[in-house]
Structure 1
Amino acid sequence: MFTAISPAIAGKLDLILMPGPVIEGHAEFEEKCESCHETLKKADQVERCLSCHDHEDIAKDIETGKGFHGRLDPDQAKNCKRCHTEHKGREKDIINLDSESFDHNQTDFELRGSHKALACQLCHTQEYKKYSQAPSLCFDCHESDDTHQGKLGEECDTCHNEESWRKQTFDHDLDTEYPLTGKHRDLDCKLCHADEHYKNTPKECIGCHLINDAHNGRYGRVCAKCHGTDEWKELVFNHRTDTEFPLLGRHKDVPCDTCHKKGPFEKKLGKACFSCHEKDDVHKGRNGEKCKDCHTVDSWTKVKFDHGNDANFPLEGKHKDLVCSACHRSVAMDDLEEAECITCHRAIDVHKNELGEDCGYCHNEQGWNVKLFFEHDITRFPLIGIHSVTACESCHLNAEFQQTESACLSCHEDDEPHEGRMGEKCGECHNPNAWLLWTFDHDNQTDFPLEGKHSEIYCEQCHRTDLTVHKQSANHCYGCHRGDDIHRGGFGRHCDRCHSTETFEDPVIR
């Protein structure tokens, strides 16, 4: 039978059974086995380890589930000697930390970004007795790296992350009341936050851009009404929707100062053309103030007034090149109620009103003397033959057309080769196609048909005097051939008894 062992004997027995020396940190307890062990009660071993004042923080981590030990499997967390074995000698490292395989993510400080590549001793220095005592705040390690010199506080992770100091995570759009847009996104923080003062930074444009105000304050302090953050020169002010005067045509390219000369835009300007362009009015007020009736915003010289539709008088030919004042001499432009040629051209009517007032009957807008058209055939003298292509002034030597004579000789007296011997009725022989194409038929129009040699002689050989006398000329041979009679009248005057019109030399006695 076994009997109970006294504490004194048990203590000596523990020393006899001790497997080896403890580490230097536990040396003071080496002969006090009861400080860590209770004889024959291994189940209490973990509680004794954790109750040690040097391991109280580990016990708390296990209880709260924090730190490395708090994240271990519960069975493993309650079996300390599974990882930490004692009695292996004074120099033995019972922590057994393998820096190559240790998973730092199982601690309260997950290694991310540039921290992953750091050597353990850079953070876990001799200053800290335990690994768990190493600081976890950025400022604890990086105070000497703080370029802000503490002005922005100690919460570095508000702007920075573990990847790089220069890669900022601060979101100006979400973390402040002033979202960065346009060109503001590319600016260095110091340009707005001088000397690292971030609080009370002005949010109005003029707070930073007063020195850039090209208007020198004349247009007020609310720059955003016209300008955006993308580009100063790209105006966001919409003259079409924000005012009652849309900018159209050339107005789009005009600088604001051209119209708004005296300060803030709130001062309303006149919307009528004349309010700005009175000094540009080449009509000097004669055409009134409704410029847009004729002109457009695209160009002063491009007139939109349609004289044909708007005034019922299409401008054609030479009329297109005239200035308005050439016809309209009053301011109201309504001085010409009648759109007749004679209304404007009476003073230059070379016909002296003899031909009436319907100038368009002969003339057109291309020019007074260009492409004249007159139906001459309805007059007493239809134009036939060469007359149809003869210039008017060849016959009409002045503008009094109705007084022009219609007889041939009134125009052709200088062209008449007969010197008046044939009378004035040229048309009895000649026609308008040509002088040489004469059509007088001696056989049918006289009592003396031309036969034989008579058909080959010129008129003047027989008709040597005035045509009136010619008509009374003898129609027998002796009347013309008395001087040719070799018989000297011995056979009488009836030459045709022996001779013919073919020849005198071969007489035929009948």
Structure 2
Amino acid sequence: MLFSHRSTNFPLVGQHQQVSCKECHKTLEFNKAPSQCADCHTDVHEQTVGTECARCHTPNSWIVANITQLHQQSRFPLIGPHASADCRDCHKNMLSTVPLTSVLRFDPLGIACYDCHKDDYLAATQPNHVASNYSTQCTDCHNMNVFTWSGAGINHNFFPLTGGHAIDDCRACHTSGSYSKIPSACVSCHQTDYESTTNPSHIALNFTTQCTDCHTTNPGWKPAEYRSHDAAYFPIYSGEHRGEWNSCADCHTNPSNYAEFSCINCHEHERGDMDEEHGGIGGYIYSSDACYSCHPTGSEEGSFNHSKSAFPLTGAHTTTDCSDCHTNGYSGTPNTCSGCHTPNYNQTTNPNHTSLGISTDCAACHTTSVDWKPATFANHDAYYLLQGAHRNIANDCFTCHNGVYTNSDRSCFTCHTQDFNLSTNPSHTAAQFPTTCEECHSQTAWTPSTFNHDGKYFPIYSGKHDGEWNVCSDCHKEPTNFAVFTCTTSCHSKAETDNDHDEINDYTYESNACLNCHPDGSDKKGGIKPTYRQY
């Protein structure tokens, strides 16, 4: 009788087609036959890879031909040299030294590099991994795709080894034997090359120590290009001079000093031609410095832009002839004010700059406007501290100085005589107030002001009269003469005062008599501590 196993949940394929029915169906209840691999097949791996045979095997054969691909689905995909390694190199339990029953065991292994490569790590001496406290994760430095620990096997991405750096001997750079925290700056290895280079002299010209600014990593330092030359000095890789030179020495004829350059050494700039082309040009000089001053970009138009120089032209400087400042050529011209204006400084008498010790930096007070005006004196506080209302007129010098700036009187009355004389409430002149304004006033404004009335005349901010008056005119009835005062008119009535003094000999109902007997304002004679009050 033929039975089609295809109609069941377990179609027979591969080697299963050759198996006798009773090998699986131990009883006549055919629908109860086991269907799991482990039900029929002995686990030769001893549960080290699971019980599902189909994960690695097919029904056709126990032999696994694609073990590498299967391994890619595990915790440790086989990459590079690992893909061709013998299983027993990692699964040590398969070695012949273990019992035969364990030959097919694949015990789970640690997947950290150090789990397999501990011996390699401990044996490494160049560099000494243990002494240098290197990471035990080999892939931090080594390339898993290369069959060697050194050379191309080093993962040097933190400092790509190209050109002259592509060397196998690590010690050529790691001369101290240390491989950790090595500086990556060019000069850390090439200091000697930098200092010994004389054509051009890198030290004398203060070249950057970052070699890659001019060099590639090709051996021999060539070719070299100073691309910053265009922006830092003069366009030779662009503009009119592009392709017009072969080597640095074409312009820098002194190999020991590349700060020097020559324009007139070129056959294109012969004197006869230059003199003819510059006929009628004011300040023309046949010199390399002069060429550069007028032609900083190398163009024939002479497009010198003073605004991009160390001394931009503004104000009166924009109309000044070049030769007025460049009296000795264009190189080394001072850019300080005193470099050109020392005669102006020495000849100025109002104010006398020399005697006052005013700064020779004209810009401290002046702009570049014509005739030195307007001018500000930022250092005024060193002579007279400007505060309050005085600060508001700091730039209106004439208000105080009236055109005279030397030996100016600093007293208040010098400027404020008119304010003093015209004050009528109270009249400062009639009351013979002091001419030292600061005794009563601040520099902020005339009011509010303070007056030592208690100490100088009569206590009105303390004692019996404190709070008994409102304005000065309560006692001083004559606003033009504050020396006159009254006690009797509006405060102390005659009847009341007569009654209070009925037993006093020589009593007189008169203001001066009141002050004579009551100088401190008390009912009896006695001292009262004076105070100040604003009004």
- State whether TM-score is above 0.5: no
> Whose helix fraction is larger, Structure 1's or Structure 2's?
1
Greater CA radius of gyration, 1 or 2?
1
TM-score (norm 1): 0.35
TM-score (norm 2): 0.33
Structure number with the bigger relative contact order (C-alpha 8 A, sep ≥ 6) is 2
